[in-house]
Amino acid sequence: MPNPYSLTAEQKKFYHDNGYLLGLPPIYAREEMARINAELPALLALLQPGETTKDIREWHETSTYLFEIAMNPRILDLVEGVLGPNFFLWASNFFIKEPRSTSTVGWHQDAYYWPMAPHHSVTVWLAFDDVDEVNGGMKLIPGSHRGGLVKHRKKDNTTSVLTLELEDGSDFSADTAVQFRLRAGECSLHDDRAIHGSPANPSDRRRAGLTMRYSGTEVKNDLSVNPNFKTYLCRGVDTYRHNPVATLPTARYGRPNFKPVSNEEAGRG
């Protein structure tokens, strides 16, 4: 029986042409996702005063709870269909919009924030809740990954959790954006250069998602910009050995003993 998580030739072509994939089989059944969600408060309890859920970055390095999700073979099968047989995990981040949250995510490209080359990375966005246009689901502009990196600039007066956003007047049309809709336990994939963002959540429903970032082993991080960068080889072999290798987490819930470089610090703007 074919593996439903092994991308077809048609799916690979769609991703290559459009920079994203939806309509994938669920990673977790509803009851499995309910159990994962039931553990989330234990992780949130580790946040310190003044921190928010967006500060849960790279906690897969210290929490088996997150590491096991990021290394789920179903997710890795999907990623392998995009990156090929040799790739590593290097980042994770929660994006949680509570009900009636005014926070947005402005139009941006992930690769603009990452001091990494060449561009061969994919983000997996795992829905912890049902996500749609009502509760602030992500939107993405198809094909925008093929236009190269677009200039971003710092915006101080913004509701966005990112202060580096595409410059006003950038040559892209938000009218062409695709609305992402996911059930809890489903995921999407998108290219590191695809232009995407999300609106506020005026609804009475939470919108929580975990992003996990994977790159081909040929991708090298600039340690002078992000000195805490670490990798876990997911599949294949790493003949390049460009990047530091992380140790496996042992605690169910834990936070790193370093503060990850912020997107703004790592960005080019």
Alpha-carbon distance of 174 to 171, in angstroms, equals: 10
- List of residues 6+ apart from 5 with CB closer than 8 A: 24, 25, 73, 74, 75, 77, 78
pTM value surpassing 0.75: yes
Q: What is the pLDDT of residue 174?
A: 79
Mean of the pLDDT values across residues 177-203? 95
Dihedral pair phi/psi, residue 132, rounded to 5°: -160, -170
pLDDT tier, 259 (very low <50, low <70, confident <90, very high otherwise): confident
154: pLDDT strictly greater than 60: no
Report, in angstroms and rounded to the nearest whole number, the Rg of the chain calculated over CA atoms: 17
* Residue linked to tokens 């049902």: 130
Alpha-carbon distance of 147 to 22, in angstroms, equals: 21
Which CATH number among 3.30.70.100, 2.60.120.620, 3.30.450.70, 3.90.870.10 corresponds to the domain 9-266? 2.60.120.620
Output b/e per residue, 234-252; b: 16+ Cβ within 10 A: bbeebeeebbeebeebeee
User: How confident is the model over 139-150, as pLDDT tens digits?
Assistant: 999 998 987 666
163: pLDDT strictly greater than 80: no
Provide the residue ranges of all domains of the chain, joining segments of one domain with +.
9-266
3-state SS, 49-102, equals CCCCHHHCECHHHCCHHHHHHHCCHHHHHHHHHHHCCCEEEEEEEEEEECCCEC
Share of the chain above pLDDT 70, in %: 87
Distance of CA 233 to the CA centre of its chain: 17
Alpha-carbon distance of 220 to 241, in angstroms, equals: 9
Mean of the pLDDT values across residues 1-19? 96
Is-contact 71 61, C-beta < 8 A?
no
User: How confident is the model over 114-130, as pLDDT tens digits?
Assistant: 899 999 999 999 999 99
Task: Kindly report the length of the chain.
Answer: 269
Q: Which pair of tokens denotes residue 269? A: 């703007």
Cα-based angle 57, 62, 64 (whole degrees, multiple of 5):
105
